[in-house]
Structure formats: C-alpha cells, structure tokens
C-alpha cells in the first residue's frame, strides 16, 4: 500500500492481520540499498507463528519517494514520519527491528518515541560515531560517495558496493541468492541513495551512545561472528544497555538475515515469544 506522510508517498507492506496477531506487530526497517523485498520471507515466517509485521521502504529506497532535499532524509525527520505512519495504521505500539542503517534509525526511534516501542531488535547496527572528529571524517566520506553515485550511476555503484569488505561473507552465498540481492539493489535511484547518504549517513547522525544507559526497553542485539568490527561495537553497547540480550551468530557476517536466514528467524521469533506483550 501507499501512504502519504507529510506529502511523501511511502511504500508499505503489511503481513498478517494487524488486529488479530499475537502481540504488537513487528516493524521492519531495511539497510542502505535495501527495500521491503529484504524482509518478505522473514515476515512470512512470522505470519506462520500467528504474528503480524510491517515493512517500509525508507526514503530514497524501493518504491518510496526520493526527495531532492537531503534534509528530508535526516534521522529526526524520518523517525517522525514513521511515527505518523504507525498512527495512520492505527497502531500505538510495535516491536521494532532494524538492520544496519535501519538499525541506527530504529535505535533513534526507541530513544525519542519510547511509547511506540515494545521491544527493540538491532541487527548489525550501531549508535553512530562518538566524537565530532569521527563524524566529520565520515560525513566527508559519505558525501564523496554520494557524489560518486551521481557521477557514475546505480549499476557502477552496485558493482562497487558488492566489493566492500563488510560484505565479503556474502560471497559464500549461492549465486542465485547473490543475483537476487543485486537485482533488488539495482532498483534504487541515483539521487535516492545519494541523498540517503547525505541526510542519514553515519557522519551526520547524532551520536546515540550517551542515551544507551537511559533506554528502558528490552533490546536484542544480533550480529554475525565474522563481522568483527560490529561484534566489538555491539559488545560495548551491551555493556551500557540496562535490559539487553546479545546474540552472536557463528559463520555469518554483516547481513545475518540473509546469510543465516533460518537461524535469524528463530532468534527473532523466540525473542518475540518471550516478550509477548498484549496490545
């Protein structure tokens, strides 16, 4: 379905019956270059367990509009739009799951819209960069990549993105799976991805590290054992969060939901069962 939020048309997909599912539905937020397509098989697994889910194409991705102003992609603006989206769907509380970029956004939402969030699951996510110097360096890097995307186009960018060391473990996936991921990435637009980097990249995101000790929600951190950088980040996060479970999945890298799909679904379903809060 298409929902108009502040004159931006969001592409939204609902899985299962939002009114009849066991507990609040699960809101799924994809990562950079992703879309609703990344979540369909996982949402189907939830429906089989009498649960419901909602997936959203974030700004600049999939079939959601890609505004030309990077400020519209800012985390505060996007989180506000998602809160309004939930209101339009008649929901006052959801379980929230975000991957990578979507995980950073999910953490921001849990901190700034706590009444909307029952539990939080973060896959390969971070609270951003702690120091102003780190953020400035990353902002320059993200802006340079955004300019490169605009100069070279989506096919060239996807070719480059697939070679990022963060995704080395995806090379072990079957060729058909990798081809499906590439096809989905190619469906994004040049200015959508470029402005997503400029507006919601790690460099411009405010650091959420100081807020972790204040987050009074149950938080599930999921990370792949081969993704050593994010294992270290998530271990630091776990030390600060008051109510947390850290799951390190063996034999997988940054994209746990893709590389170990069945194990990922099992972790998520078990987590929701433990925290089966009534609406």
Domain with residue 91: its CATH number is 3.40.50.1820
Residue 21 pLDDT level (bands cut at 50, 70, 90): low
| Most confident listed range (14-18, 49-53, 59-63, 230-234) | 230-234
- Asked whether residue 279 is domain-assigned, the answer is no
What percentage of residues in the chain have a pLDDT greater than 70?
A: 98
> Looking at residue 279, what is its pLDDT?
45
Query: How far does CA 129 lie from the centroid of its chain?
Result: 17
Helix/strand/coil for 119: strand
> Looking at residue 79, what is its pLDDT?
96
- Asked whether residue 131 is domain-assigned, the answer is yes
DSSP classification of residue 59: T
- Which residue range is the domain that position 11 belongs to? 2-274
Residue 66 pLDDT level (bands cut at 50, 70, 90): confident
User: Among 268, 29, 233, 247, which residue's Cα sits nearest to residue 127?
Assistant: 233
> Looking at residue 22, what is its pLDDT?
67
C-beta of residue 204 within 8 angstroms of C-beta of residue 81: no
Number of domain units in the chain: 1
C-beta of residue 38 within 8 angstroms of C-beta of residue 187: no
C-beta of residue 119 within 8 angstroms of C-beta of residue 142: no
- Asked whether residue 16 is domain-assigned, the answer is yes
User: Among 110, 66, 68, 105, which residue's Cα sits nearest to residue 204?
Assistant: 105
**Residue 278: pLDDT over 60:** no
- Asked whether residue 95 is domain-assigned, the answer is yes
- Asked whether residue 187 is domain-assigned, the answer is yes
Average pLDDT in the 224-248 region? 97
Average pLDDT in the 128-142 region? 96
């Amino acid at each position: 379905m298409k929902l108009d939020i502040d004159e931006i048309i969001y592409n939204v997909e609902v899985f299962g019956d939002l009114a009849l599912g066991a507990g609040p539905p699960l809101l799924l937020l994809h990562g950079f270059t992703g879309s609703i397509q990344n979540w369909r098989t996982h949402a189907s697994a939830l429906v089989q367990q009498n649960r419901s889910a909602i997936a959203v194409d974030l700004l600049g991705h999939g079939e959601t509009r890609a505004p030309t102003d990077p400020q519209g992609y800012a985390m505060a603006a996007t989180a506000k739009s998602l809160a309004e989206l939930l209101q339009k769907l008649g929901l006052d509380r959801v379980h929230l799951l975000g991957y990578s970029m979507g995980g950073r956004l999910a953490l921001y939402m849990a901190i700034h819209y706590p009444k909307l969030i029952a539990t939080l699951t973060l896959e390969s996510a971070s609270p951003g960069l702690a120091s102003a110097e780190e953020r400035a360096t990353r902002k320059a890097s993200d802006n340079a990549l955004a300019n490169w995307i605009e100069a070279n186009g989506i096919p060239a960018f996807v070719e480059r993105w697939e070679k990022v060391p963060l995704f080395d473990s995806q090379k072990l996936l079957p060729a058909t799976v990798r081809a499906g991921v590439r096809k989905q990435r190619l469906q994004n637009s040049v200015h959508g991805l470029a402005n997503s980097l400029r507006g919601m990249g790690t460099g411009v995101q405010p650091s959420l590290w100081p807020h972790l000790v204040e987050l009074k929600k149950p938080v599930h951190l999921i990370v792949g054992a081969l993704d050593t950088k994010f294992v270290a980040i998530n271990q630091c996060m776990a030390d600060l969060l008051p109510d947390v479970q850290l799951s390190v999945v063996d034999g997988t890298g940054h994209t746990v939901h893709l590389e170990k799909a069945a194990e990922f679904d099992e972790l998520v379903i078990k987590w929701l069962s433990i925290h089966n809060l009534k609406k």
